[in-house]
Amino acid sequence: MKLLAITDRTLMGADPVATASALMQRLKDRVIVQIREKDLPGVELYEWTAVLLAKARETGAQLYVNGRADVVRCFAPFVGLHLPESGISAAEARSLMPAGTPIGRSIHAIEGASELADLYTVAPMFLDKGGNAALKIDGLRDIARAISPGAEIYALGGIDRTNAEAVFSSNSDIDGVAAIRAAWNGSLEALIEGAPRRQRTSVT
């Protein structure tokens, strides 16, 4: 199993890029870092991406940027583009990117599972949010069954060590958990390191 660590620089200390780099160093190919800093100026976002891509190449970690196709195009296909549920379609995103660029998608219901993205975050798992009721394990399982077998699936929303263990033990179609706060406080790392790996192929 893997960790999809979503950035929030208010939780990552004085040097968020160093914090993300250190997580990549510790978890290596068991971590995906998604840069999700919607108010970060484009130049700074470019600089974050350049530094973290170098660390990803060194460690085997993966890197996505949330919502900023302009920044991703500067580094694609080595950096993925993560799309919000309300964003352009995965097909439209692929048409803008070099071949082989990973495309991620956030979804909150089974209706969002029809697109051929390479990676999905499925939320909210354990906390109601934005008018969406918590999916819990049964809801996650239903959505996972509707997603293309080649795509990676990460459970997001209210993730902590206890419920991450429940996700891992209950659904073999799940590749890991996605988190913000728990990704940066260290509470999930031992669990991720000890969990079995899952091999998947790209749908690109």
Mean pLDDT for the chain?
92
CB atoms within 10 A of CB 47: 13
pTM of the model: 0.93
Hey, which residues does 120 pair with through a beta bridge? Answer: 105, 153
CB atoms within 10 A of CB 115: 18
Burial grade of 137 (CB within 10 A; 0-12, 13-18, 19 or more) = middle
pLDDT recorded at residue 198? 67
Hey, which residues does 3 pair with through a beta bridge? Answer: 31, 177
Q: Binning pLDDT at 50, 70 and 90, where does residue 169 land?
A: confident
Closest CA to 136 of 118, 157, 119, 151: 157
Q: Binning pLDDT at 50, 70 and 90, where does residue 13 land?
A: very high
The arithmetic mean of pLDDT across residues 102-110, rounded, is 95
Euclidean distance between CA atoms 179 and 167, whole angstroms: 13
pLDDT in tens, 138-150: 999 999 999 988 8
Cis peptide before 124 (omega within 30 of 0): yes
Burial grade of 112 (CB within 10 A; 0-12, 13-18, 19 or more) = middle
Say which residue the tokens 């190449």 belong to. Answer: 57
Burial grade of 38 (CB within 10 A; 0-12, 13-18, 19 or more) = exposed
Question: What CATH number has the domain spanning 2-194?
Answer: 3.20.20.70
Task: Name, in order, each residue with C-beta under 8 angstroms of 57's C-beta and a sequence gap of 6 or more.
Answer: 78
